[in-house]
């Protein structure tokens, strides 16, 4: 066999091995991406379930359930405020839309759109029905995701 033919055979085998290596690297990366996407979908479902539980606590006026979804630092003050709110108002909140917009190792950001319809128990107070867009930050605490911050970014008052 001539040197030229050996050179081509070595070159051909080298290219073939490189192609096989690239194939396996690509498949490995595709599996990681697939796993990551699947993990993200599970995490998004978990985060939405936490937010739904938060609204359930508000709708049933269950202060303990409501507080179980938020971070421990805010529980005492929030508990007092929510207990008073539940005494003064009867409000039903329905989640219209929910989207996780960012996932980081230490925080998850979601955008919720929810409708609130209610009435005041007090004669001197009125409750304004509305649809609110809320930006919600979740952080892990004691191994569980909890609401750390939330802010209304848009509010539309409705009849």
Domain residue spans of the chain: 42-157
Buried b (16+ CB within 10 A) or exposed e, 93-114: beeeebebeebeeeebbbebbb
Q: What is 42-157's CATH number, 3.40.1180.10, 3.10.450.50, 3.40.50.410, 1.10.357.10?
A: 3.10.450.50
DSSP state of 73: G
Q: Which pairing describes strands 144-157 and 108-120: parallel, antiparallel, or unpaired? A: unpaired
Residues 20-33: tens digit of each pLDDT: 545 555 554 444 44
Q: Return per-residue pLDDT of the chain as tens, 159 residues.
A: 666 556 556 555 656 555 554 555 555 444 444 458 889 999 999 999 999 999 999 999 999 999 999 999 999 999 999 999 999 999 999 999 999 999 999 999 999 999 999 999 998 889 999 999 999 999 999 999 999 999 999 999 999
Query: Could you count the other beta carbons within 10 Å of the beta carbon of residue 1?
Result: 6
Separation of alpha carbons 63 and 83, rounded Å: 7
Identify whether the C-beta of residue 110 lies closer than 8 Å to the C-beta of residue 136.
yes
High-pLDDT (> 70) share of the chain, %: 78
Residue ranges of E strands in 71-143: 89-103, 108-120, 130-141
What Å distances lie between residue 20 and 13, 15, 24, 27, 30, CA to CA?
A: 10, 9, 6, 11, 15
Kindly compute the dihedral angle of the four CA atoms of residues 34, 35, 41, 46, in this order, to the nearest 10 degrees: 180
């Amino acid at each position: 066999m001539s040197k030229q033919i050996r050179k081509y055979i070595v070159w051909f085998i080298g290219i073939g091995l490189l192609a096989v290596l690239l194939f396996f690297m690509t498949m490995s990366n595709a599996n990681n991406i697939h796993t990551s996407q699947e993990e993200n979908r599970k995490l998004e479902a978990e985060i939405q379930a936490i937010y739904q539980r938060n609204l359930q606590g508000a709708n049933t006026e269950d202060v303990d359930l409501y507080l179980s979804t938020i971070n421990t630092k805010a529980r005492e003050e929030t508990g007092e405020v929510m207990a008073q709110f539940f005494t003064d108002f009867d409000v039903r909140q329905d989640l219209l839309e929910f989207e996780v917009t960012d996932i980081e190792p230490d925080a998850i950001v979601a955008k919720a759109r929810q409708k609130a319809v209610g009435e005041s128990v007090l004669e001197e107070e009125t409750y304004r029905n509305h649809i609110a867009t809320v930006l919600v930050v979740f952080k892990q605490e004691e191994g569980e995701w909890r609401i750390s911050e939330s802010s209304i970014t848009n509010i539309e008052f409705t009849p």
